[in-house]
Amino acid sequence: MGLLNYIAQWRGMMKEVVDRTAITVKFLCLLHVTDNYLCSPSHVYGPSMLPTLNLTGDVVLAEHVSPRLGKLGPGDLVLLRSPLNPNRTLTKRIVGFEGDRITYFDPRHGDVPQTAVVPMGHVWIQGDNIYASRDSRHFGPIPYGLIEGKVFFRVWPPHSFGQLDY
């Protein structure tokens, strides 16, 4: 009788371990899908998006559905992979789409306006603070595929909590 009780207890413990492991795996899968395909938080900082975002950093939410569906527009704030360093994520504003003629001022060239035409499959991005932003004025139009998400909500700091006004 003792051996049968021991086997029954062992089976019960193993079933509980398998059930808890399955719940944990399901949760991690849900977390992965949510973070990569729906919505994710991101810490953004630096001077390039002043005054829209804080120099010391904001925590924002970015949704990943709009870029995949091609539902971005001029003026949208986006998270994108840096074309110069793929390990970095940038936050910039979309200024133009494929076929648009962009006239911009590059502080390095003084007050002489520059023009560029955005090629197919690319967008023109710029930071709000043109004097402290590395953007399309420096590295040209970026491929649409580098856009990871559209920023729509600020979580931190608490006094700025809410939808971003742009």
> Which pLDDT belongs to residue 129?
86
Model pTM score: 0.76
Q: What is the pLDDT of residue 4?
A: 77
In a domain, 7, yes or no: no
Express each pLDDT in 75-109 by its tens digit. Answer: 999 999 998 888 998 999 999 999 999 988 876 77
In a domain, 46, yes or no: yes
Q: pLDDT confidence of 118, banded at 50, 70, 90?
A: very high
Q: Is the pLDDT of residue 123 over 90?
A: yes
Domain with 139, as residue range(s), is: 41-163
In a domain, 65, yes or no: yes
- Average pLDDT of the residues of the chain: 87
Distances (CA, A) of 54 to 19, 39, 116: 45, 21, 30
Residue 76, in any domain of the structure? yes
The total number of structural domains that make up the chain: 1
Q: Is residue 6 part of a domain?
A: no
DSSP 8-state assignment for residue 34: I
Instruction: Tell me the catalytic residues.
Output: 48, 92
Evaluate whether residue 94 is within a structural domain: yes
The two three-digit tokens of residue 62, written as one number: 């970015």
Q: Kindly report the CATH number assigned to the domain that includes residue 139.
A: 2.10.109.10
Position 81, amino acid: R
In a domain, 111, yes or no: yes
